[in-house]
Amino acid sequence: MRREYCKSYSVELRREMEMLVFGHGGAAAIVFPTSQGRFYEFEDRGMVGAVADRIESGALQLFCLDSVDGESWYNWRVPPRRRIVRQMQYDRYVVDEVVPFVRVQNQAPELVATGCSFGGYHAVNCSLRHPDVFTGFVSMSGAFDLRKLGFLGQYNDQDCYFHLPLEFLPNLEDEGILEQMRQRTYVLATGVHDQCWNDNERLAAMMRAKGIPVRLDVWGDDAGHDWPWWQRMAKVYL
């Protein structure tokens, strides 16, 4: 399996960012790590191994990103406004820097975002904000209610709003954007013992209310919020 380590300076983030790339072709998937996770997490946690056959056959290529969660949502040392500003910079880093890098290596029509838990939030948020860039998402046990998780307290502004899918999606009326979303492929996977099950049900209902097709799978067999389940999910959806 082709494995490439990449490190480059991000203009948007004003710091070095690292990435691991697995594979040589096929559908491209940008991988977001879990809460404050690192670019090597997907490999260390057995997720790359779970889909190794698809990678080696040239059906799938993974671009595993680093996070800046510790500088944005999880940076409790700064006020909420600074957290959302850093999240906005991260969003621009992904779209303006990572995506062009991906497209140099991979011109496949499919470009999906994926992640587990808080990585699922990033995958969904980025995909729904940029349906002109991403052809879909695969979220495994995504956590979407960031207000309930306490990241913002009572703070609110327009920038927060547009990074909270549970808030901006119900009010989205732009038919051009909605029609792009209706042509995409969206997967929400969760489990019967997953604390994020309700978030996934809510998001799926909001998407369907807008006519956006979404596959919501709630896994039985005592499925919970942990890596062994996400490895099994990756084999099905990636």
Q: Which pLDDT value is given to residue 235?
A: 97
Q: Which pLDDT value is given to residue 153?
A: 86
DSSP letters, 58-111, are TSEEEEEE---GGGTTT-TTS-HHHHHHHHHHHHHHIIIIIHHHHHHH---S-E
Domain ranges of the chain: 3-237
Tell me the average confidence (pLDDT) per consecutive run of 10 residues in the chain, 238 residues long: 97 98 98 98 98 98 98 95 97 98 96 98 98 98 94 92 97 97 98 95 98 97 94 97
Q: Which pLDDT value is given to residue 199?
A: 96
pTM of the model: 0.97
Q: Which pLDDT value is given to residue 154?
A: 87
**Alpha carbon of 29 to those of 21, 103, 118, 157, 217: distances in Å?**
10, 11, 17, 31, 20
19 closest CA partner among 134, 123, 97, 121: 97
CB 177 within 8 A of CB 131: yes
Q: Which pLDDT value is given to residue 132?
A: 97
Query: ∠ at Cα 203 (112, 32), nearest 5°?
Result: 35
Which numeric CATH code is attached to 3-237? Answer: 3.40.50.1820
